[in-house]
Chains A and B, each alone.
Chain A
Amino acid sequence: MSSPLTPPAPGRVLTAASRAEAHPPTRRRRQPLSVHATYLLPAWLLIAAVVVVPLALSAWMSLGNETMLRSGRFIGLGNYTNVLTGDFWPALGITLVFSLAAVFVQVPIGLALAMVLNRELRGTQLYRSVLLLPMLLTPVAVGLMWRLMLNADTGVINGVATMMGIPGLNWLGDRTLAVVSVVLVDAWQNIPFVMLLSLAGLQSLPDAPLEAASVDGATRWQSFWYITIPMLTPVLGVVVMIRIIESIKLFDIIYILTQGGPGTATQNLSLLNYRVGFSFMNTSQAAALGIIICVVLIPVFWLQKKVNEQ
């Protein structure tokens, strides 16, 4: 007879009784499924209350013609047709522009700043604190401040340009420059976030691969491109995903800076949704637009999931 701690003899079939004999009951006994479900229930209920139920209600509302003034009736997919034949496509286009800009402007600059700060030069602490300041401001304050600075007649930016003999630009009054202005202001506020996460990522990288590369005669650029970047990819992936999602949601800065203008030059999906829901009081149509925005976001979440899995 084997002791409880010795493995069973080869060929011996483990019955329930023998298994119990081999592994006597301990405090870590496996809990039945119902116990797990009981523990998880409050969390699931909370998620259902704040996410699933509102989403389901929005989906249902999007099929009616309810406004902020009166309850509606079922009209099928009429709101979706209205949304997709209205200002949706230009707003989607400008949303994509802001998202691409968030990735291709903010991430390289944020990473470059992080690389500089990671070298622990003199004054790094001070620079790091100063560079983080924009991130601490509320988007509304940032929008108001830049609105004043970008004013074509009274703004400091054109003022300095004029002093240097450069003609001032109509930052908020020209359709293209208004888009550029929003991109710049959003970048100004969010590059510190990219920098902070990239810096944390850089500081957590092991030194050994870089030292080995150095011994093998790799240049700085080769070390950066073939070692640092691949090792940093998971962090950068998360940063890119967060910035894409945040840029799709971008609202405050645009609202304060340009109100979506001139015309609809800077009106993204968030601003359009706000207008439809709160200015025009068309709640059902806003719900339809909200559902469409969720659908637009699905590939982004899928991409994020893939990055996380890696």
Chain B
Amino acid sequence: MKRNRLLLTAAAILVAASLAACSTPAAQQTAKVDSLTIFLTPSPTEDAIKKLLPEYTKETGITVTVVDAPYDDAHQKQLLSFKSKQGAYDVVQFDNPFLATYGDQDDLVDLTDRVKASSKFAYDDFVPALQQYGVYENKLIGLNLSTEPFLFWYRKDIYAQLGLKVPTTWDEYYNNAKKIQDSGKADGQVIAFSNPTNSWWWLQFLWSFGGDLTDASGTPSVNTPEAIAATDYYKKLLTVSPKSAISANGDDATSLFITQNVGQMITYSGYWPTIMDPKQSKHVADIGYAAIPQGKTNIVQLTGWNIGIPSDSKKQDAAWNLVEWLVGKDGSKSLLQAGGAAIGRTSMAADSALVKDNPYLPLLPQAATNGRRLPAMVAWPEISNQIGIRVADVMTGKAESQTSLGDLNTDLARILGK
């Protein structure tokens, strides 16, 4: 009797040891996953994802825990998590300028193969510029979670009263703003002028006027005649803006447009849910939109959230399943209908039911065709900050464009030379 018990115990130990030996990471991958953690950043997209997640849990039985942090802290938190390699997050929402930071460290999984093999995702549903939006050094590490090019927004009622036409060039844009300002009916226009976010708007003008941060050899080139012309134009716009525009970031500028009397604005399409929300916007019925005017080039700044899978996630298959569900061809529609910013899928722009509720959708692939994302550089946060400071110096009259851009050129050489 005693001997039998001993044999049974030994057998149990052997079985347990064999099972333990089998539990390699590969086995863990295929093991049933019952929970995932997604890191989101406060935005209409986050709200939409939160609305949809219970449905995902119902379909798959997988519980998704949402972790979030304000924009200013989000990327640092993600970086620290990636560095610790504990697999704290299975899916992350991040802003496109951090593509280089994450890509440089291989913090995110290359999704190229998964995307191309997935009919549910439909990679061909994006124009080439959007297919490349999350690519860093030939690796697709971020999928489009929103597509937010700059759009031109205007007050149809004011335009009608003054007999103005939608501008197609930057000269026309300024002239319209001047006429509106001079009429006394409203302020001419609004954009973000405060640093550091002013760097994003200024960059649009730099590109439109034919300038760039660096030349073909990578040498800083922000003291060129094109850059000076762009900066002078940017300053000229300040004269036809509300007084507080100089201290306005993107949110403030949008808030001025939807709550005060302002004739026109350049801002990202991602603000659509806010601008068209009757609870927040006073002028919903009078707001029109169009592609932004052109200068020497027809470049449109393209921004938008990315979504990716951290390399240290221990549940990458399940994480991919969630990503595919959220931003696949069907998921993208659900996300939009739940109040998220639109993803620029060609099929969505052609979907009459969707376009009826979101008439700006056809503009997204169109704008993205000429789209250019913010520079994918690890040093972008520092560059952006320095642009913001030097441009603000011009706006506040501390320095002339030429002097300030000369200083900026020196700053960029120092930062890029590190």
Interface residues of B in 370-418 (CB under 8 A from A): 378-379, 381-382, 385, 388-390, 392-393, 395-396, 398
A261 near B247: Cβ-Cβ < 8 Å? yes
Expressed in whole angstroms, the Cα–Cα distance for A200 and B198 within the complex equals 48
Which residues of chain A are near B244, meaning CB under 8 Å? 151-155, 170, 172-173
Inter-chain contacts of B83 with A (CB < 8 A): 68
**18 A-B interface contacts by CB (under 8 A):** A68-B79, A151-B244, A152-B244, A153-B242, A154-B259, A154-B260, A155-B244, A170-B247, A173-B247, A178-B247, A259-B196, A261-B388, A261-B392, A262-B195, A262-B392, A275-B385, A279-B382, A282-B382
Closest 6 CB pairs of A and B: A173-B246, A172-B247, A152-B244, A263-B392, A152-B243, A280-B382
Tell me if A263 and B381 are in contact (CB < 8 A). no
Residues of B within 8 A of A278 (CB): 76
Determine which of A170, A264, A275, A279 lies in contact with B246 in the assembled complex, contact meaning CB atoms within 8 Å. Answer: A170
Among the listed A151, A152, A154, A259, which residue makes an inter-chain contact with B195, where contact means beta carbons less than 8 Å apart? A259
A249 within 8 A of B: no
A178 to chain B, nearest CB (A): 8
Q: How far is the CA of A275 from the CA of B385 in the complex (A)?
A: 9
B385→A175 contact, CB < 8 A: no
Q: Which of B101, B194, B247, B381 has the most CB of A within 10 A?
A: B247
Residue tally, chain B, CB below 8 Å to A: 33
| Given A68-B76, A279-B381, also A262-B396 (CB < 8 A) | yes
Q: How far is the CA of A107 from the CA of B381 in the complex (A)?
A: 39
Q: How would you classify the secondary structure of chain A's contact residues: helix, strand, loop or mixed?
A: loop
Q: Name the residue of chain B whose CB is nearest to the CB of A263.
A: B392
Residue from the list A69, A152, A174, A263 in contact with B393, Cβ < 8 A: A263
Quick one: closest B residue to A276, CB to CB?
A: B382
A70 lies within 8 A of chain B by Cβ = yes
Set of chain B residues within 8 Å of A280, measured between Cβ atoms: 379, 381-382, 385
Does A281 reach chain B (CB closer than 8 Å)?
A: yes
B243 and A153 contacting across the interface, CB-CB below 8 Å: yes
Q: How far is the CA of A264 from the CA of B378 in the complex (A)?
A: 23
Taken residue by residue from 152 to 180, chain A's Cβ proximity to chain B (1 for < 8 Å, 0 otherwise) reads as 11110000000000001010111100100
| Binary CB contact string for chain A from 63 to 88 against chain B (1 if under 8 A, 0 otherwise) | 00000111000000000000000000
What distance in Å separates the Cβ of B327 from its nearest Cβ neighbour in chain A? 27
Assess the B76–A69 pair: CB atoms within 8 A: no
A144 CB to closest chain B CB (Å) equals: 12
Distance from A84 Cβ to chain B, minimum over Cβ atoms (Å): 14
Bound complex: CA of A278 vs CA of B382, how far in Å?
10
Provide the bound-state CA to CA distance between A280 and B414, in Å: 14
The reply to whether A69 and B242 form a contact with Cβ atoms under 8 Å apart is: no
Complex-state Cα separation, A282 to B344, whole angstroms = 35
Report Cα–Cα, A68/B392, bound state, in Å: 28
B228-249 contact mask (Cβ, 8 Å, vs A): 1 or 0? 0000000000000011111101
A174 to B396, CA, bound (A): 7
Q: Which of B246-262 contact A (CB under 8 A)?
A: 246-247, 249, 256, 259-260
- Which residues of the partner chain A approach B395 to less than 8 Å between Cβ atoms? 262
Check A263–B243 contact: CB distance below 8 A.
Answer: no
Chain B stretch 295-322: residues in CB contact (< 8 A) with chain A: none
Given A69-B104, A175-B396, A263-B396, is A258 in contact with B389 using a C-beta cutoff of 8 Å? no
Is B105 interfacial (CB 8 A cutoff)?
Answer: yes
Q: Which of B333-379 contact A (CB under 8 A)?
A: 378-379
In the bound complex, CA of A279 to CA of B196 (Å): 11
Q: Is the CB of A68 within 8 A of B80?
A: yes
Interface residues of A (CB under 8 A from B): 68-70, 151-155, 168, 170, 172-175, 178, 258-265, 275, 278-282
Q: In the complex, what's the smallest C-beta–C-beta distance from B245 to chain A, in angstroms?
A: 8
A281:B396 contact, CB within 8 angstroms: no
Looking across the interface, which residue of chain B has its beta carbon closest to that of A86? B414
Is A261 in contact with B194, judged by CB distance below 8 angstroms?
Answer: yes
Q: How far is the CB of B235 from chain A (nearest CB, A)?
A: 13
Residues of B within 8 A of A261 (CB): 194-195, 247, 388-389, 392
Q: Do B101 and A69 touch (CB < 8 A)?
A: yes
A-chain residues with CB within 8 Å of residue B379 when the two chains form the complex: 280
Minimum CB–CB distance from B59 to chain A (whole Å) comes to 37
Is B247 in contact with A258, judged by CB distance below 8 angstroms?
yes
User: B382 and A262: CB pair below 8 A?
Assistant: no
> Which residues from B are CB-within-8-Å of A69?
79, 101, 104-105, 378
The answer to whether A262 and B246 touch across the interface, beta carbons within 8 angstroms, is: yes
Residues in A with CB closer than 8 Å to B382 are 279-280, 282
Bound complex: CA A263 to CA B196 (Å): 8
Residues of B within 8 A of A263 (CB): 195, 389-390, 392-393, 396, 398
CA distance A178 to B398 in the complex (A): 14
Give bound CA distance, A151 to B321, whole Å.
Answer: 46
CB neighbours (8 Å) of B101 from chain A are 69, 281
Residue from B101, B195, B393 with most neighbouring chain A CB atoms (10 Å): B195
Q: Which residues from chain B contact A70 at a C-beta distance below 8 Å?
A: 105
> How far is B3's CA from A132's CA once the two chains are assembled, in angstroms?
80
A258 vs B244: C-alpha distance when bound (angstroms): 12
Chain B window 24-40, contacts with chain A (Cβ cutoff 8 Å), 1 for yes, 0 for no:
00000000000000000
In the bound complex, CA of A168 to CA of B242 (Å): 12
Say whether B256 contacts A153, CB under 8 Å.
yes
Contacts of B398 in A (CB 8 A): 175, 263
7 further A-B pairs in the complex, CB-CB below 8 A; given A172-B244, A262-B194: A68-B79, A69-B105, A152-B242, A173-B244, A259-B196, A262-B246, A280-B381
Q: How far is the CB of A222 from chain B (nearest CB, A)?
A: 48
> Nearest chain-B residue to A280 (Cβ)?
B382
Minimum CB–CB distance for A270 against chain B, Å = 15
Contacts A69-B105, A259-B195, A263-B398 given: A173-B260 contact, CB under 8 Å? no
A109 to B245, CA, bound (A): 33
Query: B388 — which chain A residues lie within 8 A by C-beta?
Result: 261
Flag if A259 contacts B194 (CB, 8 Å).
Answer: yes
Residue with the highest number of chain B CB atoms closer than 10 Å, among A69, A173, A265, A280? A173
